[in-house]
Amino acid sequence: MSEPRKILVTSALPYANGPIHLGHMLEHIQTDIWVRFQNSMGNMCTYVCADDTHGTAVMLRAEKEGKTPEDHIKAMQEEHVRDFRGFLIDHHNYYSTHSEENRYFAELIYTRLKTNGHISTRTIRQLFDPEKEIFLADRFVKGTCPKCGSEDQYGDACEVCSATYEPNELVNPKSVYTGATPVEKESEHYFFTLPEFQGMLREWTRSGTLQDSVANKLAEWLDAELQEWDVSRDAPYFGFEIPDAPGKYFYVWLDAPIGYMASFKNLCDRRDDLEFDEYWKKDSKAELYHFIGKDIINFHALFWPAMLDSADFRKPDGVFAHGYITVNGEKMSKSRGTFIMAKTYLEHLNPEYLRYYYAAKLGAGVEDIDLSLTDFAQRVNSDLVGKVINIASRCAGFIKKGGGSLSDNVAEPEMLAAFQQAGIDIAGAYERREFSKAIREIMALADRANEYIQSKAPWVMSKEEGREQEVQDVCSMGIHLFRLIAIYLGPVLPAMSDKVKAFLNVDSLNFTDRETVLTGHAINKFKPLLTRIEMTQIDDLIEASKEDAAAEAKPGPKAAEKKKAESKQDKPEEGSQEIEFGDFAKVDLRVARVIEADHVEGADKLLKLKLDVGNGETRQVFSGIKSHYQPEDLTGKNVVLVYNLKPRKMRFGVSEGMVLAAGGGDELWVMEADSAVKPGTKIS
RNA sequence: GGCUAUGUAGCUCAGUUGGUUAGAGCACAGCAUUCAUAAUGCUGGAGUCGCUGGUUCAAGUCCAGCCAUAGCCA
């Protein structure tokens, strides 16, 4: 056997601003399976992670909760650790970016960058909240889009027309903290001179470190011009102050990946068999891999290797991006109850179900993974309970009757050899992170094992005199096959693996054990290894998730500086929050009569309506109902208009109000008022 | 708008460098079996491989355009 590989693996650091949900779990389950597989193969694979604790969002969250940031991140970390443990994620260390080790490495790396001339400074003008005395990141300013006139848009891009711009270009900008009108203020910022690494990055991104599609994607930037990266933020900021730069702090994304080093260093200090330099020095022979979500590729495949390069550390051998989780084919949604927290899941279902299902669907690519809940239940039940566990379950009784020990004979040596041989392909699939392929092959083995037992029908033989040994041989063979399948599933199902060890009376079920055969070996009584999923459990989980979402009061601005890390999946979707009567009373609803309705040139979804709103006044309203209504269907109808909605400039003209409709998606009905009602009548 | 992906049976997905009648699991139907957590085995129906063109003796696979979906644009 070749020399064991020394491998260091990380999952992206969860942000200390919210709970772990099933999206996070995809990444940690993927990483954990890979790490367990490596160790099962006899390699020395270390897995570290940490909470990402810095930044404005954490600072404000703590402030809102009336805590210090330190107290807040400590509580968060405890929660995160508990959730990961619940899902059997075996981080060898789970640390924090708010640690002395991380401060040390952040300062060290920064100092080296600076010494190498890779830090430049220049003064930038930025919006500033004069009430709260804080600089405003793009997402903390809202106003009217300068391109299309849409209201209430973030400072970096318009969600309506997709224009991108600078926050100071917004019309009528407001701070999301205080509502104050921001002022422009100058500040000196520190920049990392990324363009100097263009050549290195071009080569590095194409050297097998990244998935092809990711490398293609990055080529967009690398073939164009890279920009310098702003790595400083002004006080007040929760983070590390930049050496020799009072009032300036490292941007959270500078010290976040350094957290991988800090966590590993912290572990090395407690372990005799791990040495930091062996893994991080420039010419390290150890392997380093980062598992991340596809949303944070830039940070890990551009900024991070460039920083490491300048600071004279080794670069990663691989950055592996995965896609997002959808539930029942759609984005996780709070109101639908599919925004599922790790904690809530664990209160209803066994973590290994999810580990198995994710594994069964994960490939090496960046495609999104759909958690289809009915498929989930069916697949887990039929694969794990119906096929795999059934093999042991149907053989164990006969073995017990025969004395409790496996036969000295191997009934089907060729079949056994084929099962052992299959381990090579399966290992290859795990290694390449093609877990779904590994699972397919394992399930094919389980099918073959069941076919074998079926064809031999030991229950028939057991009724015939003198065939006792044959029964033992066949059922022992079944157990041998089961054991191999359990070995192959071990990285995915560690808790079940432990139960199988107890059943088979063995100490280990590693890939390296697959050549041995338990002939003549005494085994223990079979106990159920896993129970089936009931659909009611899933229904309960969805219900509980809806309650979670409702309980989570969401006043105040959504802290969003870490939007890249938290991204869409964390975006609150309004459920049905209670409102005061006063809130409702603000909406002026009136009956309006459609005078004209027309198609809009160039618009896929819109119809242009001319409405009589009483007192001789008419309004022009654009309504996204083209897919369900023809203009002639609407003319002459009385509809419900939001009379006091702010006019909104759209590409095709100004829309002065909004027509109410029920439904959405496949079904949509415009709300109509009785034809007897006069246009302009108020609705209350 | 530009870019990166995805689109194959009711559902979830495989389909290697283009090569015979396009596969699996689940679900469904029938039969067998009853050792097993009603698990298992056998048989079967089911697909215009998003659409339209093109290259080729041959296209799910290559090329172009279009449509839909998702994401990215620091």
H or E element that contains A249: strand A248-250
Query: What is the per-residue pLDDT across A400-409, written as a single tens digit (0 to 9) for each?
Result: 998 899 999 9
> Quick one: what percent of chain A has pLDDT higher than 70?
87
C-alpha R_g of chain A: 30
How far apart (Å, rounded) are the C-alpha atoms in residues A335 and A338?
8
How far apart (Å, rounded) are the C-alpha atoms in residues A489 and A408?
26
How far apart (Å, rounded) are the C-alpha atoms in residues A487 and A497?
8
**Lookup result for tokens 């909760």:** A65
**A579, burial (CB in 10 Å: exposed 0-12, middle 13-18, buried 19+):** exposed
Residues of chain A short of pLDDT 70, as ranges, are 1, 147-148, 150, 157-164, 552-586, 599-606, 625-628, 630-632, 644-655, 662-669
Among the residues of A138-224, which ranges form H helices? 198-205, 212-223
**Whole-number pLDDT of residue A521:** 94
Give distance CA A441 / C1' B49 (Å).
24
**DSSP percent split of chain A into helix, strand, coil, nearest 5:** 45, 20, 35
Considering all nucleic acid strands, name the nucleotide whose C1' atom is nearest to the C-alpha of residue A164: B73
Residue with CA nearest to B14's C1' atom: A437
CA atoms within 13 A on the CB side of A78: 5
Give distance CA A415 / C1' B70 (Å).
44
**Whole-number pLDDT of residue A603:** 55
Residue A497 near residue A490 (C-beta atoms within 8 A): yes
Considering all nucleic acid strands, name the nucleotide whose C1' atom is nearest to the C-alpha of residue A195: B74
Residue A339 near residue A545 (C-beta atoms within 8 A): yes
Residue type, A207: S
Task: Compute CA distances A523 → A398, A402, A507, A526, A532, whole Å.
Answer: 12, 12, 12, 9, 24
Q: What is the DSSP letter of A303?
A: I
Complex ipTM:
0.90
**A246, burial (CB in 10 Å: exposed 0-12, middle 13-18, buried 19+):** exposed
Considering all nucleic acid strands, name the nucleotide whose C1' atom is nearest to the C-alpha of residue A323: B71
How far apart (Å, rounded) are the C-alpha atoms in residues A207 and A201?
10
Considering all nucleic acid strands, name the nucleotide whose C1' atom is nearest to the C-alpha of residue A530: B37
pTM for the complete prediction? 0.81
**Whole-number pLDDT of residue A145:** 73
From the annotation, which residues of A make up the binding site for ATP? 334
H or E element that contains A606: none
CA A31 to chain centre: 12
* CB proximity list for A551: less than 8 A, separation 6 or greater: none
How far apart (Å, rounded) are the C-alpha atoms in residues A323 and A331?
12
Give distance CA A221 / C1' B15 (Å).
33
H or E element that contains A58: helix A56-64
φ and ψ of A362, to 5 deg: -85, 130
Query: Helix/strand/coil (H, E, C) string of A314-327?
Result: CCCCEEEEECCEEE
From the annotation, which residues of A make up the binding site? 145, 148, 158, 161, 334
∠A270-A271-A273 over CA atoms, to 5°?
Answer: 165
Considering all nucleic acid strands, name the nucleotide whose C1' atom is nearest to the C-alpha of residue A379: B26
Give distance CA A220 / C1' B55 (Å).
30
φ and ψ of A489, to 5 deg: -90, -5
Residue A33 near residue A69 (C-beta atoms within 8 A): no
Nucleotides of B under 7 A from a protein CB: 1-6, 11-15, 24-27, 33-37, 39-42, 68, 70-74
Give distance CA A596 / C1' B48 (Å).
42
How far apart (Å, rounded) are the C-alpha atoms in residues A485 and A506?
15
Asked whether the bond before A19 is cis by omega within 30 degrees of 0, the reply is no
How far apart (Å, rounded) are the C-alpha atoms in residues A86 and A79?
11
